[in-house]
Each structure stands twice: as structure tokens, then as C-alpha cells.
Amino acid sequence: MSNGPLTIGIDIGGTKIAGAVIAPDGQIVASERITTPAASTDAIIAATAELVTTLKGAADGQIVGVGVACAAFVDSRRGYVWFAPNLPWRDLHLGPLLEDRLDLPVIIENDANAAAWGEYRFGAGRDVDDMVLFTVGTGVGGGCIVDDRLLHGAFGIGGELGHIVIDPGGPRCGCGNKGCLEVYASGNALARNARELVASQSPMGEALREACGGDPDALRGHDVTRLAEAGDLAATELLEDLGTRLGQGIASVCAVLDPRLIVIGGGVAAAGDLLIGPARTSFSKHLTGRGHRPSPELVAAMLGNDAGMVGAGALAHERVAGG
């Protein structure tokens, strides 16, 4: 039996929709996941509503609100989605549409912001007031906590840390600009660099070549991590390169926000110190005023893939129930 009202946290991605019943202390009471019907906005909304209904049936207590996290530019104050790169959403009043179906208050939030709030409330950042989360997955996302508040900006699009430019002459990013952090420090970047090494026929890439059967297009970021964990030098160096670029980006963000803590999450962060160690080293080399100022700590996220759901549920609880 849970103490206090419950919420439902939903994390809508390009391939799956994950949901959970969230207790006021951040514990997951029940969870489900379904495949995202990504081709249709109406189908995504219907599937999300059905998932919420299923979770309500599994809850042992009153559901007071729903928090929805999605990979999009979001104005959370209005429940409005400006744009979602991996879903057919443009200028969408997602919150009101879901509220009409669910008869419950609905909070809409960017997925990395929700994950940052989850880590801040119940994970690696629960003992600090100022924190930045970098999510290193297929791309690079971020969420910023400043003076106990989630940073949204004037239009709700604050905290897009993957799109700070670290090399204006670099490759084109999916956002349209050149040289974004995401181009250099994401899972896509890791796989791209590994494929280039395989295609080069360098003897350094022999283990990577074997992992993909000689087909560079078959290589994935998790293959690189697995080989690095097994001690392969080339795979280890690829993760070091990624961490080095990530550390540069972190230093740039710290020059603006001066957080107490940097949390690194996302799928690529499963590599642990193979990624975070080089990120710490690079960060210490690029931090403004290094040697003459306090420096934030860099740590791994604690909530894993649940951070978005937990954070979305916590935001719903706090905004709806005043928790």
C-alpha cells in the first residue's frame, strides 16, 4: 500500500512508450511498456491513453495526475509541443488532447528535463540545489536544475545541451547546425567513428571488424562498449575520444551555469569510467578558471532508463498535488 496520492509517469520515445505508477517517494509501483505507433499522432495519443488506463488498473491508490516525457521542444506551461524530431509532432497541444481522453491533469515535459528532475529528486542529485544532467544516448540531451528549479527558458526550450557548438567547422548536426556537441559525443558519433575505423582496414580495428562480420553498417555503439570492457585498445580509445569531447561540452555549460554537480546518464553512460573517466580529465583541462575555483563533481546517473518516467511522475505530483 502506497502512502499518499499516486501519479503516472510516461516516457514517449520513437520506438517505445514506457509508463509507470509513481509513488510520492519516487518508487515505481507498477510499470508497462508498448511499441510506439510512430507514424500517426492520433495513434500515439490513443496508445498513450490506453497505457495510462492499464496502469490505473494496476495502481493500489488514487491517481491524481499524469506526467508525460517526450523527446521534443516542449512548452510545459501550456502542454504544447513545438517540434519532435523522431515523431510526427509539429505545433501540437498534446497536454489538452490527453486530458480530454483521460479526465486527469496532464503535465508535458521534455524527456531529458524529466530525467534530470528524476535524478535531482530521487537519484544522483538528491543532495544538491544546482545540477546538470547530460544524457548520452543516440543523441545528447540535457536538463538543468538551477536554485531548486528546472530551467525551461522563455519558450520552454532551455537545456538543449547537445546543441551547443564546439566546432563551427565540424560536421552537420541533425538540428541543421554544424559542429554541435551531439555530433561528437553521442552514441551515433561512437558508432560512426567505429565504422570509419573498420572501413579503413587498419589492424587497430580487427576486433571491431570481427564484431560486425566485416560490415561496418552492422556495427553499433554497444558493440564498441562491449569490446572496450573486454580490453580492446581501439574500442577503448573510441570511448576516450567521446569522453574528451563530452568533457569540453560540460566545461562550456559550467561556464554559464556553475552547477554543483554534473550527472551523466543515457545508454552510452553504461560504459561507466571508460566514458566518464576521460570526460572528467577533459573537463578539468577546459574548465574556466581551473585551479582557482571550486569544481563540480562528475558522477554517473542512478535511475537508468527509469529516470524519465520517475521524473515525469514526480513533476505531475508536485504540480498537481503540491507534493
pLDDT digits (tens, 9 = 90+) for 172-202: 998 899 999 999 999 999 999 999 999 998 9
How much is the pLDDT for 2?
56
pLDDT given for residue 1 in this prediction: 47
Rounded to whole angstroms, the Cα distance separating 29 from 157 reads 31
Percent of the chain with pLDDT over 90: 90
- Alpha carbon of 168 to those of 238, 244, 252: distances in Å? 22, 17, 14
The predicted pLDDT at position 175 comes to 87
Contact (CB, 8 A) for 22 and 313: yes
* Helix (H) or strand (E) run with residue 188 in it: helix 187-199
Helices 273-286 and 233-257, packing angle to 10 deg: 50
Across residues 125-153, what is the average pLDDT?
A: 96
Among residues of the chain, what percentage have pLDDT more than 70? 98
- All structural domains of the chain, each given as residue ranges with its CATH number in brackets, are 6-118+306-321 (3.30.420.40), 128-301 (3.30.420.40)
Q: Which whole number is the average pLDDT over 3-32? A: 94
What pLDDT score was predicted for residue 10?
Answer: 98
141-163: pLDDT as tens digits: 999 999 999 999 999 999 999 99
pLDDT, tens only, 200-223:
989 999 999 999 999 999 999 999
Length of the chain: 323
- DSSP secondary structure letter of residue 321: I
Binning pLDDT at 50, 70 and 90, where does residue 134 land?
A: very high
